[in-house]
Amino acid sequence: MQIKTLESLLEDANKIIKRLSYDETLELLSVTESVIIDVREESEVINSGVIKNAIHIPRGLLEFKLAPNSLSNPRNIDKDTNLFLYCAGGYRSALAAKTLLEIGFTNVYNIGGYGEWIDNGGDIQASP
Mean pLDDT value of segment 52-80: 90
pLDDT tens per residue, range 101-115: 999 999 999 999 999
Distance CA 128, CA 114 (A): 15
pLDDT tens per residue, range 41-60: 999 999 999 999 999 999 99
So what's the pLDDT on residue 70? 83
What are φ and ψ of residue 83, in 5° steps? -115, 125
- What would you report as the CA-atom Rg of the chain, rounded to the nearest whole angstrom? 14
pTM over 0.85? The answer is: yes
Residue closest to 52 by CA, chosen among 105, 119, 118? 118
Percent of the chain with pLDDT over 90: 78
Q: Which three-class secondary structure state does DSSP give residue 87?
A: strand
